[in-house]
Amino acid sequence: MYKYLVLFILLLANSVYADIIINEVMADPSSCSDSVCEWIELYNNNESSINMTNWMISDESANDSLESSSGDSNIILPGNSFALIVDDDSRVFHNFNVGENIIWIYVDDDAIGNGLSNDGEENIILYDNKNMTINNVTYTTTASGNSFALINGEWKESSPTPGRSNENNQSHSNDYSKISINEFLANPIGDDDSSMPDGEWVELYNKGNDNLDLLGFKLKDSSKKEILIDNVHVKESTIIDSKDYLIVYINGFSGFLNNDGSDRIGLYDLSDNLIDEISYSNSKEGLSWSKIEEGWQITESTPEKKNKDNSTIKEIEDSSIKIENIYDLGSNDKAEWGSNIRVKLLVYKGDTEKDTISAYIKGSERISKISKTNFYEKFNSYTITLPIQIALNCDNKYKDDNYDIVVEGLNSKDAKEIKIAGQSKECRSVNKEVEEKKESIKKEGLKEDINNNVNKITGRIIYENKSKEASRLNVFIFIALLIILSLVLLYERKDIG
């Protein structure tokens, strides 16, 4: 019996989830029993996916918690997508002609609420995980087999369109086939399970024309370990824009990708369907696996950038040092002995465990101090300026000539010739001080001769230096002791006689 519809919608809740709406209700199915064929359709009217974990649906008589059909703890409704809430028995009996890629959500028993009413008024309420009302709908009755559907902003009795647009009965399907694994770093420098942006990562690429939210998607390796694509494993948003990249970081998860031996990475959607996969073996530390056309190569890491062909792999692995410029030379392009110069270096550290480079100046022997610095990160370029102290040459040990600035380390080396000539100000100051001391000593010596030495004609003692005076004094003391000893012996002999 046909019954007229009386339907109205209460105001949407002021919630961050307001884009989740109740879009269609099947309360009186005709093709099968209510216990396995009642359903409520939700629609996410937003580009972003929404996590509905721990949400509830109610008919005012009873509340039902929601469960994911995949068995996951999370319930994710993708952007611009439909979800169908059914009772627990529908896990076995899928008696619905539904749209593609619909999200199935089950209630925790054999009825939605207390069973959707076919006669009289019924109120359906959707709650979030904080028990806040997200959306609700009140309806009365419809003809058996018809649904209540939101069409162009108004609720009407309609032929059922589960998982499809109520306006044109067309299903909407996000084309996740446009998402592919594009690059991954299985063996980073340092700890593989470091916090992002360090550690292992997998880069995805969206070659389609639509932005897609991958919240709730998973990466799995060959041992079935999983990385959930969520806000813990991406820097900002889980949305991957059209013709753009999304980096999924392992971010502390241990033992995901193998460094040695073979492994596999698979990308799975919310229904655990495989979207893309890649197998690999034996990664190289600091280098990533990159998709070049339709093949895979080990090459330089280029996160969120176009991949580089590995024709440059030799250049990538080898370190290089280049002397770019020399500062602090005089106007005649030469350095002075004892001066400081600065050397600008372009350094690339490739695949080497060595960290140190040294810079010095040499001819037939080294004529400067050695300046050192360290570079720890592989496959990185550096620009650095090192000071070099040239030796003083106050004694003219070295001749003015051309000498080589040498920079070496990281299994690489570069050299550049410079002219060194002329004493530095410091050396000239030292020489001046030495001359002044010599002159002072000379003057002091002359003055002492005048004051202490006398002409032999005057009968006075001629000045002798202190060492001679000390020698003469010792002789006098020795003679005096001999005299005293002789007197003592004579005295004792006299007593005996």
Are 93 and 114 contained in the same domain? yes
Are 227 and 344 contained in the same domain? no
Are 304 and 334 contained in the same domain? no
Kindly tell me the burial class for residue 15, based on how many C-beta atoms sit within 10 Å of its own C-beta (0-12, 13-18, 19 or more): middle
Are 295 and 193 contained in the same domain? yes
Are 280 and 335 contained in the same domain? no
**324 phi and psi angles, rounded to 5 deg:** -85, -40
Which residues constitute the domain of residue 304? 176-316
- 494 assigned to some structural domain: no
**Which residues 6+ apart lie within 8 Å of 340 measured at CB?**
328, 387, 388, 389, 390
Are 149 and 201 contained in the same domain? no
Domain boundary among 366, 400, 423: 423
CATH number at residue 87: 2.60.40.1260
The segments of the chain whose pLDDT lies below 70 read 1-17, 91-96, 310-315, 424, 427-475, 492-497
- 43 assigned to some structural domain: yes
CATH number at residue 398: 2.60.40.10
Nearest 10 degrees: CA dihedral of 88, 94, 97, 99? 70
Is residue 262 within 8 A of residue 268, CB to CB? The reply is no
Domain boundary among 407, 423, 439: 423
- 134 assigned to some structural domain: yes
The count of other CB atoms within 10 Å of the CB of residue 99 is 20
- 133 assigned to some structural domain: yes
- 328 assigned to some structural domain: yes
Is residue 288 within 8 A of residue 300, CB to CB? The reply is yes
Q: Which pLDDT belongs to residue 466?
A: 47
Q: Which pLDDT belongs to residue 61?
A: 82
Residue 244: C-alpha distances to residues 81, 211, 223 (Å)? 22, 9, 29
Three-class SS state of 338: coil
How do residues 270-307 score in pLDDT, each as one tens digit? 888 999 999 998 888 888 999 988 788 888 889 999 98
Domain boundary among 158, 192, 227: 158
**Number of domains observed in the structure of the chain:** 3
Q: CA 165 to CA 67: how far, in whole Å?
A: 24
423, two tokens: 């004493």
Q: CA 382 to CA 347: how far, in whole Å?
A: 5
- 453 assigned to some structural domain: no
Are 149 and 188 contained in the same domain? no
